[in-house]
Structure 1
Amino acid sequence: MADPCNRCGKCCLHMRRYMLVERSIGDTQHFCHFILTKERFFARIGGEDLVRFRDSDRMKQYPDSCPFLRPGEDESFHCTIYSFRPDHCRRFFCA
């Protein structure tokens, strides 16, 4: 059984080269391609996730991170497309 996410961000801090945003419709809707699995998916961002997503300046210190990852409170990280993340991300578990 997979361990619950502890929001460490380790799984996403080096995913920029694999998670491609092919086309965006504003800040809220993104057509994406996860090139490791060739999965194409649609990501939608809203509510508090949209507020976090728009704050991209805080991620400049992590240039290789997934474009949808944002810092949370207390040195944690937050996936702004958690409900729409690709299957590969859904199957990942912390070891």
Structure 2
Amino acid sequence: MLKSIIIDDETESIEVLKSLLTEYCQDVFVIGTANSPAEGIKLIKQNPPDLLFLDIDMPGLNGFELLKTLPEKDFEIISVTAHNDKALEAFKA
């Protein structure tokens, strides 16, 4: 079982992803969700995941900046974005 966290500023996106994971990825368990980068950082530090679903385009601190604040990243990252121009940058991060 993979423990995962979803960080996205859009609640509807979180709910859709949770639903898809429940239906198609029974080995992925969502241990927490966050609607803001600050909330997400706190959640990651309290309960480190195996897998992080991270929205790139969020107000304040974007997904790339959030990753830079974490000293250790002992988890896999899946970047989630609705913006095509952010996709290549996400692969490089």
Q: TM-score, normalised by structure 2?
A: 0.28
Q: Higher relative contact order by CA 8 Å / sep ≥ 6: 1 or 2? A: 1
Q: So what's the TM-score if we normalise by structure 1?
A: 0.27
